[in-house]
Structure 1
């Protein structure tokens, strides 16, 4: 089973925040592939469903931790332990300050660049999970970061946010082909970037 995690904060207050773009990506995967309603499970909103791939139908768990960002790892560990999902089959979608708005990159392991959700997952599970980095840009000064990530996307940003999440949803079958490896990762990243190029 593949586990696709979106990072964000729970509740309508945070729904449109830059920090919640990971939730938005998971919601689009669920919508595109006809997943059923989310259930409260593993301290998360969890959806089990099937994604059709070139290798046949594959079972996928979508997870939106409801622990608040700083404790995301507890939720992911709970689900991974229950289903015995190896770290190599966990991909985490999250906001990335160090990428320009709309840029997309996939990365295995590496640093966390101050992201508390990634820090929590690394503490609970280890570093070798796949990070789907969704660029939101940087406000320019370190002291502005907290307010920036917890602010809603500007109206002018919404077209690229919608394009990026839609491209992720459509390309998800490339991630679901088992086992998740370099080939699928590269194809997925190329497909998403091609279908949702970052704004100039």
Structure 2
């Protein structure tokens, strides 16, 4: 059983924010694969399934995401190495895509919560959203909508990340890294 987790915040207020790129990728995967909704209150999130693959959007708010993931992990007895987390990353330029297993949370509250609840050795799909000029602006920056310029490339980026996630179901992490890693959005539009 494989579990894809998209990190984000629930509610229309946050729908278009940089922090919700993980939710957007899950939405695309659920739509592309015609996954069915199997949500239960206990899961603390929207949960979808197709065959042996689950897609989760925790509805706990970002900094409590680990609670939802831990519940689903235990309920379906999912190995940590079969959990793939899609999240925004301010240390990467907009449109960059990177993959790694394990590592630190880099100040990301969603990852911090996951690390505390399930451990660190899950696969991360890091989607670059760029960063503000000053460190003090980070929380404001990630909770703001993508710029008009970014929005023009957003659907292409989401499609690329969703394709990479589908590839992770049948290919090794290193293969997916070599095929789908991007330095920036220009890698897709060039």
Q: What residue number does 2:71 align with?
A: 78
Q: 1:65 to 1:140 in 2, by over 3 A?
A: same
* Partner-residue secondary structure (3-state), 2:186: coil
2:153 to 133, 146, 160: 160
- In the other structure, the counterpart of 1:180 is none
Are 1:68 and 2:25 counterparts?
Answer: no
Please, what TM-score do these two structures have when normalized by structure 1?
0.87
Any idea what the Cα deviations from partners look like across 1:19-69, whole Å, max 9, x if unmatched?
A: 00010111111111121246345000000113xxxxxxxx10000000000
Q: Aligned match of 1:199 in 177, 181, 186?
A: 186
Question: In the superposition, relative to structure 1, how do residues 188 and 125 fare at CA in structure 2: closer, same or farther (>3 Å)?
Answer: same
Aligned to 2:112: 119
TM norm structure 2: 0.91
Query: How far apart, CA to CA, are the structure 2 residues paired with 1:186 and 1:33?
Result: 24
Give 1:144-159 correspondences, 5 Å limit. Answer: 144-159=137-152
Q: Structure 2 vs 1, CA of residues 146 and 114 (structure 1 numbering), >3 Å: closer, same or farther?
A: same
Q: Which segment drifts farther, 168-177 or 142-151?
A: 168-177
Q: CA RMSD in A?
A: 1.8
How far apart, CA to CA, are the structure 2 residues paired with 1:96 and 1:171? Answer: 17
Which residues of 2 match residues 1-200 of structure 1 at below 5 A?
1-37=1-37, 39-41=39-41, 42-50=43-51, 59-177=52-170, 184-193=172-181, 198-199=185-186
Contact 2:49–2:55, Cα closer than 8 Å, also in 1: yes
In the alignment, structure 1 segments of 5+ residues that lack a partner are 51-58, 178-182
Corresponding residue of 1:56: none
In 1: Cα distance, 2:61 partner to 2:122 partner: 20
Shift of 1:197: 5.6
Query: Cα 1:108–1:171, aligned 2, differ >3 Å: closer, same or farther?
Result: closer
Distance 1:23 1:93 in 2: 8
In 2, distance between residues paired with 1:190 and 1:65?
29
Q: Figure out how many residues of one structure are paired with residues of the other and give that number.
A: 186
The DSSP-based 3-state class of the residue aligned with 1:46 is: strand
Change over 3 Å in CA distance of 1:126–1:25 after alignment to 2 = same
Note the C-alpha offset of 1:107: 1.1
Long gaps (5+) in structure 2 = none
